[in-house]
């Protein structure tokens, strides 16, 4: 009986003590400002360690993160991203692509006499990705690899379906611009990616694994990252690296800051499995905005060139060339007639700054040039023989002029393809004296029944050099007998195909 009475007394005392602590810890809970509970002046005999723990818990419950996106650094952000999510999800669309899957069957006669065989079509092959509404009149940004080769591009928004038209692509950055016929679209607010800092919170918004309107959070892990995934002759790689989860289907989606403003277009993941494995990469919004503007107004990106080949400085180059700085890019080859030659630049010059902006590596160099047009004047700060110099020069296009570059496309309806001419400098970079590029192949046409693919360069026909699309189509429309077509594949390999007409 005495044991039972003693147990009851202890239990009652414990309950009263617990209620007291609970009451103290939760007083003023609705106060939105951080505060510290002060129990030192109470008349209780509460253990000081418990008081300290209570104060720490209270601080954490009312804590907030300060964002680097706030220039003044004084505005706190809550532990959720509801506002950022709401502001950005409405501007991200779901993209579906359809491509006819074809195969070719050849007979023994085809193998011996160069026949093309017969083409058969299978069911449509479907793909999916994301896109970002860039303006309220229906212009949408996505990745080139999302829509490449598609016979039909479909945009799903607000449970409605639209057939999209491809306005233009930039293979060097993997950015594509498409358009749907719709007005009053909720265009995303665009922030400058230059204001983004390593450590800033970001959200990835897209449609991974066909899961529409998915939002994941992470931080900016690095800027100006090169991962060597672009196969273009002049690749533009200066990615924002983030640990926000990006998966298949996120491609072309938005990377936004804590205010829901666009800072990048999600483009790639670093993974051995094809799914998220820690890091994703986005094209900075400032680069995207320049590309979109050029595609809308000119149909081609206005790329500015220094007229020189550069190499990023590393420890080996630094020691071998006895350079005065381990940061920057060194000129390794000056192109004849280019901006560098006209301004008196020399091989071995080490560029460390452009327009007072530091150039630490090749990614920063490429990104800086991507913001400019042919005809823009820039100021270089560089070392020559360890002497610091300044020089102004005018950037040019790939042909060494300041003319506006407009993509000249030639549509050959009779053979089912669209071609584009190659500038002289581009042919020189490829090691070719002639060639035209296959821009698009129409299904069911003559070219589609060959082994020629989009992006390939047609060099010659029966050893006759091809420099104009009109010449190639003229020959194919009239030739009879065997035809030997020399091409450069998308991997850079030169080969020949034999056909009989």
Residues belonging to the active site: 145, 174, 251
Tokens of 104: 């070719």
Tokens of 437: 């590029």
| Cβ neighbours of residue 301 closer than 8 Å, sequence gap 6 or more | 168, 170, 172, 290, 291, 294, 295
| CA neighbours closer than 13 Å in the CB half-sphere of residue 172 | 15
List beta partners, residue 119: 104
| Length of the chain counted residue by residue | 501
CA pair distance 236, 369, nearest whole angstrom:
10
Q: How far is CA 247 from CA 22, 284, 442, in A?
A: 44, 18, 31
* Cα 271 versus chain centre, distance: 16
Tokens of 75: 């505005």
**268: nearest Cα among 153, 144, 369, 363:** 144
Distinct helix (H) and strand (E) counts, the chain: 11, 28
Residue 491: CB atoms within 10 A of its CB come to 7
Tokens of 158: 């607000």
Residue where the block lists tokens 């056909």: 499
CA pair distance 122, 428, nearest whole angstrom:
40
């Amino acid at each position: 009986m005495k044991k039972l009475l003693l147990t009851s007394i202890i239990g009652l005392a414990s309950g009263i003590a617990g209620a007291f602590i609970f009451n103290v810890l939760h007083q003023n809970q609705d106060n939105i400002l951080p505060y510290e509970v002060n129990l030192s002046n109470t008349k209780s005999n509460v253990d000081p360690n418990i008081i300290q723990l209570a104060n720490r818990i209270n601080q954490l419950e009312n804590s907030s993160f300060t964002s680097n996106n706030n220039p003044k650094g004084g505005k706190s952000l809550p532990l959720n991203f509801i506002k950022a999510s709401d502001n950005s999800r409405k501007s991200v669309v779901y993209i579906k692509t359809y491509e006819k899957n074809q195969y070719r069957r050849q007979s023994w006669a085809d193998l011996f006499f160069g026949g093309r065989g017969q083409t058969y079509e299978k069911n449509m092959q479907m793909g999916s990705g994301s896109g970002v509404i860039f303006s309220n009149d229906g212009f949408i940004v996505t990745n080139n690899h999302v829509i490449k080769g598609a016979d039909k591009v479909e945009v799903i928004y607000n449970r409605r379906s639209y057939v999209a038209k491809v306005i233009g692509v930039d293979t060097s950055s993997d950015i594509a611009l498409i358009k749907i016929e719709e007005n009053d679209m909720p265009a995303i607010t665009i922030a400058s990616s230059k204001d983004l800092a390593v450590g800033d919170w970001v959200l990835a918004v897209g449609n991974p694994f066909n899961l529409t309107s998915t939002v994941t959070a992470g931080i900016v892990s690095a800027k100006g990252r090169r991962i060597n995934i672009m196969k273009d002759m002049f690749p533009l790689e200066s990615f924002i690296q983030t640990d926000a989860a990006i998966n298949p289907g996120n491609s072309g989606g938005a990377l936004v800051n804590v205010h829901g403003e666009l800072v990048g277009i999600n483009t790639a993941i670093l993974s051995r499995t094809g799914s998220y494995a820690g890091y994703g990469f986005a094209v900075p919004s400032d680069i995207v905005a320049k590309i979109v503007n050029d595609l809308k107004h000119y149909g081609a990106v206005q790329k500015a060139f220094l007229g020189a080949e550069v190499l990023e400085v590393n420890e080996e180059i630094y020691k071998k060339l006895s350079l005065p700085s381990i940061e920057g890019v060194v000129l390794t080859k000056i192109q004849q007639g280019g901006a560098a030659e006209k301004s008196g630049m020399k091989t071995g010059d080490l560029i460390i700054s452009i327009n007072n902006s530091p150039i630490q590596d090749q990614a920063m160099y490429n990104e800086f040039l991507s913001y400019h047009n042919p005809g823009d004047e820039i100021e270089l700060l560089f070392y020559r023989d360890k002497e610091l110099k300044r020089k102004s020069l005018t950037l040019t296009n790939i042909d060494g002029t300041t003319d506006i570059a407009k993509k000249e496309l030639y549509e050959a309806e009779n053979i089912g393809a669209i071609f584009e001419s190659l500038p002289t400098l581009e042919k020189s970079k490829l090691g070719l004296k002639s060639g035209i590029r296959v821009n698009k192949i129409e299904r069911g046409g003559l070219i589609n029944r060959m082994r020629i693919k989009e992006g390939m360069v047609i060099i010659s026909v029966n050893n006759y050099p091809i420099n104009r699309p009109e010449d190639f189509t003229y020959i194919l429309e009239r030739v009879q007998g065997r035809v030997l077509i020399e091409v450069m594949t998308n991997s850079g390999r030169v080969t020949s195909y034999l056909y009989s007409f």
